[in-house]
Homo-oligomer: A and B are copies of this chain.
């Protein structure tokens, strides 16, 4: 459903949020390492995200990525939208150009229901809410090593 790039983007932002709460501004290398993603590619994705002001950056010594309080914190919708455009929220599962309630494909009603539920979902979830889960130990950010053997 979500592309690999989008998943990297989400993980990166959640990690940045977690670090920001610790008064830190992580850099590309650290982010990529922590979210288990290729470094150069993570850099590209972060470029896209900063260009769209979902996150901010500073160059040079002590630089890195961070959120600014002034801007509304990004929702999952914002991230998916920037990374994948809005086709994902509207595309017909049957592949028709002009599928709509008035002119539905045989899949329309049911497919739309799931798609709309997905859309509702990503509007609800935010980078913040996801980071909070990680902070509270309710979820993990990356590949977890099972230590309880």
Binding site for B on A (CB under 8 A): 1-2, 4, 7-8, 10-11, 14, 76, 88, 91-98, 103-108, 110-111, 113-115, 117-118, 121, 124-125, 129-131, 133-134, 138-144, 146
| Interface contact B140-A105, CB-CB below 8 Å | yes
Those 9 A-B pairs whose CB atoms lie nearest each other, nearest first: A7-B95, A106-B130, A106-B139, A106-B133, A2-B93, A114-B118, A104-B139, A110-B121, A97-B143
Closest Cβ of chain B to A30, distance in Å, is: 18
Total copies of this chain within the assembly? 2
Closest Cβ of chain B to A54, distance in Å, is: 17
- Using Cβ atoms and an 8 Å threshold, which residues of chain B touch A104? 138-140
- Using Cβ atoms and an 8 Å threshold, which residues of chain B touch A107? 10, 76, 125, 130, 139
